[in-house]
Structure 1
Amino acid sequence: MVTVNLNSAPNAEDRVSIFGVPFSKMNMQQTVNHLTDRILSRQVTQVITANPIMVMSALESPEYMAMMKRAELVVPDGTGVVWAAKHVGNPVAERVPGFELLHHLLRVGESQGWKVYLLGSSPEIVRETYDRLRAQFPKVSFVGYRDGFFGASEDAEVIRAIRETNPDLLFVARGADTQEPWIARYKQELNVPLIMGVGGSFDVISGKTKRAPAAFQKLHLEWFYRLLKEPTRYKRMLALPKFAVKVLRDKENVQKG
């Protein structure tokens, strides 16, 4: 049985600010324990699995930065974030990839009988993701799914459909530029204990794309593997060297803001 600890929320010393974005310093197991507590106590929690590209986006957009600061938990998904925190002498415990966090939470969900809703990606991909996760985690109740192709005029309908299923976890795959602001805007209205943006995780789970081979993961080169597979991402990937240069040049200011 999982024990609820209402005082498990990370405090200031459990976080490191990277150019204003407050990253959790917890390792994967601590993160899972913390989120389990919040789910069991029905506290609405937005989890952002952030990387250097998202940090750079936040620096360019005050609205995006404000949204990230309002999130209940920001975890270091990108290896660049882990490197930056170590470089400034305030390291995080480890990288906490969103793909793995999703699976860890579902494993806990099997013992808790949690209900899960999937939102995002294409109709074919979200359906396949739903079917595969239901087979992999038979004790989790997957209560619904919907693709991510809807506009603002349909938000109320989408929210109503999710609320009717009363899920414990909501995974959203709509792309970082869309999913995080959408979650932030509607998280209180959705009233789901855990809402997490999962980016391309549905693509991998459904089998549409493959996760980077173990060798790439071990060398922290998953981003490079994705670039090889999707060359059109090169413009977005340009933020990575810009982030590294900024950390090196502005080391004294990385933790300010």
Structure 2
Amino acid sequence: MNPKPKPYPTVSLYGVPFSKMSMKETVEYLKLAIETRRPQRVITGNPIMLMVGLDNPSFHHTLATADLVVPDGSGVVWAARRLKQPVQERVAGFDLLHELLREGERHQWSVYLLGASSEILQTAHDKLKQQFPGIRFVGYRDGYFTDRDDGEVVAAIRAANPDLLFVARSTMNQEPWIEKYQSVLNVPVVMGIGGSLDVVSGKLKRAPALFRKLGMEWFYRLLQEPSRFKRMLVLPQFALKVIKDGDKVLKHNK
């Protein structure tokens, strides 16, 4: 499967088109999408997602057909640079969330939060509301719902009619759910933000700037959540696979 060409520069890693735009360009691109009501499904891509996609054709399709995949993981930035197709910079989902809210304050955008536990969601919602008083927070719901509740969840989001929908669920629930309902949600920008609300709420601490600069944010998170150890083993596997595959990484087709 060859993804449709994008209106911005990309590098294709295992068939997934990662944006080469800077953070500033990404925010401008999504601002235009909101102004023109042009739906954008945004994925904050990382090596773990890519490796899952290589074993799971359905999930690979979800990644490859997104309107925008930003290079969230430092491993993605490294791979693109190694293959001489560098991205401008890492566009971390946590930072993009905050940059969009900062931009949204100037335009009084409306936001809906979906995901996390009730306690974390409530705390994160209250903190973001205080931090970004110019944003209209038009609704929120925790992420603990089943397929049977989807109709009710979608209806609530449609009724709230937000400019931005941020979804904070586990990857395998988050991205396929957004893909499934994007066409009926009627939201210009829908973005998966994973565990960002855990950090916003204060449950987890974000890695210090030095860790982020060195591309070691994953290690800092592992120190906070040792249970993620098995998942983190995918990172060296990804690096070895990129080295072994060479240019085939860029020519991969599903």
After TM superposition, the score normalised by the length of structure 1 is 0.95
Q: Which amino acid aligns with 1:15?
A: T
Match of 1:90 in 2: 85
* 2:114 paired with 1:119: yes
Aligned partner of 1:156 among 143, 147, 151: 151
Aligned partner of 1:167 among 157, 162, 171: 162
Aligned partner of 2:171 among 161, 176, 186: 176
Partners of 1:33 and 1:146 in 2: CA distance: 28
Q: Which amino acid aligns with 2:229?
A: Y
Superposed counterparts of 1:93-242, under 5 Å: 93-242=88-237
Q: Which amino acid aligns with 2:136?
A: S
For residues 146-187 of structure 1, the C-alpha deviation after alignment (integer angstroms, 9 at most, x for no partner) is: 000000000000000111110000000001111000000001
Aligned Cα RMSD in Å?
1.3
Match of 1:57 in 2: 52
Q: Secondary structure at the match of 1:74?
A: strand
Partners of 1:43 and 1:17 in 2: CA distance: 23
Segments of 5+ residues of structure 2 without an aligned counterpart are none
Match of 1:17 in 2: 12
- 1:244 CA drift (Å): 0.1
Segments of 5+ residues of structure 1 without an aligned counterpart are 1-8
Partners of 1:44 and 1:141 in 2: CA distance: 19
* 2:32 paired with 1:37: yes
Partners of 1:127 and 1:177 in 2: CA distance: 23
Partners of 1:109 and 1:61 in 2: CA distance: 36
Residue range with higher mean Cα deviation, 119-128 or 9-18: 9-18
Q: Percent identity?
A: 57
Q: Secondary structure at the match of 1:49?
A: strand
Partners of 1:137 and 1:105 in 2: CA distance: 11
Q: Secondary structure at the match of 2:247?
A: helix
Query: Contact 2:8/2:19 (CA < 8 Å) preserved in 1?
Result: no
Q: Which amino acid aligns with 1:61?
A: N
Residue range with higher mean Cα deviation, 121-130 or 12-21: 12-21
- 1:11 CA drift (Å): 3.5
Match of 1:27 in 2: 22
Q: Which amino acid aligns with 1:63?
A: S
- 1:238 CA drift (Å): 1.1
- What is the number of equivalent residue pairs in this alignment? 249
